[in-house]
Amino acid sequence: MTELLHVSGGPTKPEIIAVSLSKLDLADGCRFFDIGCGTGAVSIEASKMVRDISICAIDAREEAISVTKKNFEAFKINNAQVFSGESSDILEKQEVGSIDCAFIGGTKNISRVLEVLAEKKAKSIVLNAVRIETVVNVINKMKELDLFEEALHIIVSRSAPITGETMFKPENPIYIVVGKSGKN
Ligand SMILES: C[S@@+](CC[C@H](N)C(=O)[O-])C[C@H]1O[C@@H](n2cnc3c(N)ncnc32)[C@H](O)[C@@H]1O
């Protein structure tokens, strides 16, 4: 089995990826943006769910870009562009084209990122956050941009062995914020 290379902050846990992608309205041939791609794990899972997806993965850290490129090669992700830099700057560029679905895993400069996604008329946006301050900021900004749909708080506990029996260990809670264009 192909092993995913890791980088600090990633990969996003599979259960969180599953819920996040279920909220994104992925469709065959869609243009998917992985903003703060880290390892590229979310893009890899998205590519298993629909046909002919076109992926644009962005991260500000060179280390993450290098790991994403290696993971895309190992998992045979062919229809992908990988951009290094601040996502709000990259999203503004003409050559990135239209945006159907955007997953946001990194929330630096999030207000500007959301403004650019709204300007580009991204149809569906799903954001992961761990800090409540980020969540409040994102909900308020999405409401201002007429994008806000819902926010979820997800806690996963995973089985772990204990003296030959099984206990559950909680993982860090994650907030998922969902935005859709054309709310009204
Ligand atoms: C929690 S990690 C993402 C993990 C990723 N979803 C995965 O599965 O590996 C957040 C990433 O977002 C990047 N990031 C945060 N804000 C960013 C921004 N405004 N532009 C580009 N990258 C950003 C960080 O460099 C970091 O690699």
- Sequence spans of domains, the chain: 14-180
pLDDT score of 65: 98
Among 48, 43, 178, 174, residue whose Cα is nearest residue 122: 178
Distance 38 CA to ligand 1 centre (A): 5
pLDDT 10s digits, 102-119: 999 999 999 999 999 999
Res 171 pLDDT > 80:
yes
Say how many Å lie between the first and final Cα of the chain, rounded. Answer: 46
Q: Is 36 annotated as a binding residue?
A: yes
Query: Is the shortest distance between the CB of 82 and ligand 1 below 6 Å?
Result: no
pLDDT 10s digits, 21-43: 999 999 999 999 999 999 999 99
Query: Is the shortest distance between the CB of 100 and ligand 1 below 6 Å?
Result: no
pLDDT 10s digits, 158-169: 999 999 999 999
Fold of 14-180: Rossmann fold (3.40.50)
Q: What DSSP assignment string belongs to 84-142?
A: ES-HHHHHHSGGG---SEEEE---TTHHHHHHHHHHTT-SEEEEEES-HHHHHHHHHHH
Q: Which atom of ligand 1 is nearest to the CA of 41?
A: 8
On whether the CB atoms of residues 102 and 142 are closer than 8 A, the answer is no
pLDDT score of 183: 60
Res 100 pLDDT > 80:
yes
Res 1 pLDDT > 90:
no
Res 182 pLDDT > 80:
no
pLDDT score of 59: 98
Q: Is 39 annotated as a binding residue?
A: yes
User: How many angstroms separate the Cα of 153 from the Cα of each of 24, 148, 183?
Assistant: 17, 15, 22
Residue 123 CB partners (closer than 8 Å, separation 6+): 25, 99, 100, 101, 180, 181, 182
On whether the CB atoms of residues 57 and 85 are closer than 8 A, the answer is no
Which two tokens mark 175?
Answer: 């907030």
pLDDT score of 50: 97
- pLDDT confidence bin for 170, thresholds 50/70/90: very high
pLDDT score of 155: 97
37 vs 64: CA distance, rounded Å? 7
Question: Percentage of residues in the chain with pLDDT exceeding 90?
Answer: 96
55 vs 37: CA distance, rounded Å? 11
DSSP 10: B
Residue whose Cα lies nearest atom 13 of ligand 1: it is 36
Q: Which atom of ligand 1 is nearest to the CA of 110?
A: 19
On whether the CB atoms of residues 128 and 175 are closer than 8 A, the answer is yes
Query: Is the shortest distance between the CB of 12 and ligand 1 below 6 Å?
Result: yes
